[in-house]
Chains A and B, each alone.
Chain A
């Protein structure tokens, strides 16, 4: 009997001689991604297709060159694959999307939505930290690698745009608007920057960056709830960069008297 997985019957890797182009492509991309993750992400710019083929158990790179015309073509494909795994906070996107799709009457307080949606980031477990290390390696290597810089840029633009659409939907659901000159992309960029930065901090001061704080907020439950550092800062940004939609008479983006100065 064929063992089954939740996705369907488990397939044995086809023998080398009968491997389809799609199988070879998937094998070489997966092998390259593993090399990037486990060896040194900073060497991705010099990843060698022959090495990848050898690591994948292929006797020559001939079949690889039936798929990619050049090593550069392979590298771009590999980078796209690696970067596609850096879509952060899937949990947060799903949770927020579900919340704002509900009946407005049942929406949780905004602070509660922020607290729960950001609760699992940036830590996201060891896997998240490992992925971020790869991202940092790619970021460093992109300083003198135009192809890599372009791929990183396109990947990050896609992520920011996806989050900006989500934050616009949240603002709509809660009857908020962005204080000029801010917008959803600015907010998304600030949150993404904080997420990245706190992940770096976790690798330097995990005892502080990984801490949760018992905090009571105006629009939250009466009892203190546990907040990550990221959630606290995102809550501060939400309050500073947005306002109730009807309050359009106030032109100030930030209150200049907030500190009394």
Chain B
């Protein structure tokens, strides 16, 4: 509850409040608690609360976890779609989710650059995020009988595609006219046209270059 209240406070005040000024008393008030006494039974001090809040923010602001769950569900289901279709659908959902949560991530990203303690928490969360991405792309490559073209691997693919969706999220706000919601490509059955988000188009281009059918 107090982590959610902290996140809500941050989202409400946006970037006008820096993370190191988040007050546990404000958070408790926001959460409807009369005093901060119960909070201090959980966290010995404000810094400990802040560290856990930031960890929660970093983890929750990573769309990779949602993508992993979605891909696991699709691959574990009855009919396996073509790789194109998997990329088209999952990448579109991932870009949409990223758009909603990315500002929070960037607040943390900025803050940790000048805060060694926060940087350590951030690095742990990032490692967990990367592990998830590597597991995701390894599962996809295996499921579609692909292998990585040397010198690429699941880590390189994960970091590159994550960079792409992050950069497109930034560009989508500043120059939306250049980041179309979707573009029509003749990738459907019998060459029918399907809608592809720019991120999905980029994922396919990179997937095609970095992987190949397993001999």
Scan B167-203; emit 1 where CB is below 8 A from any A CB, else 0: 1101101110011000111110001000000100110
How long is the Cα–Cα vector from A3 to B191 in the complex, in angstroms? 71
How many of A's residues come within 8 Å of B, CB to CB? 61
Size range of the chain B interface in the assembly = 35 or more
In the complex, chain B residues whose CB is within 8 Å of the CB of A195 = 167
Top 5 A-B pairs, shortest CB-CB distance: A261-B82, A193-B167, A197-B163, A197-B167, A240-B205
The answer on a CB contact under 8 Å between B126 and A142 is no
- Taking a contact as CB atoms under 8 Å apart, the answer to whether A254 and B185 are in contact is yes
Determine whether the beta carbon of A241 is less than 8 Å from that of B205: yes
Contact B178 A237 (CB under 8 A): no
B74 on the A face (CB < 8 A): no
Kindly state the separation between the CA atoms of A235 and B18 in the bound complex, as whole angstroms.
39
Nearest A residue (CB) for B180: A186
Interface flag for A236 (CB, 8 Å): yes
Residues 161 to 202 of chain A near chain B (Cβ within 8 Å): 181-182, 185-186, 188-190, 192-198, 200-201
Contacts of A241 in B (CB 8 A): 205
Known: A201-B159, A215-B151. A140 touches B107 (CB 8 A): yes
B110 engages A137 (CB within 8 Å): yes
- Cβ-based interface call for A252 (8 A): yes
Contact B204 A254 (CB under 8 A): yes
Which residues 103-143 of A sit at the B interface, judged by CB distance below 8 A? 133, 136-137, 139-143
Instruction: Find out whether the CB atom of A42 lies under 8 angstroms from the CB atom of B122.
Output: no
Q: Which residues of A contact B144 (CB under 8 A)?
A: 259-261
Residues on A with C-beta less than 8 A from B166 are 193, 196-197, 200-201
CA distance A200 to B194 in the complex (A): 31
Q: How far is the CB of B62 from chain A (nearest CB, A)?
A: 10
Of B170, B206, B207, most buried by chain A (CB within 10 Å of CB) is: B170
Query: Cβ of B171 and Cβ of A196 under 8 Å apart?
Result: yes
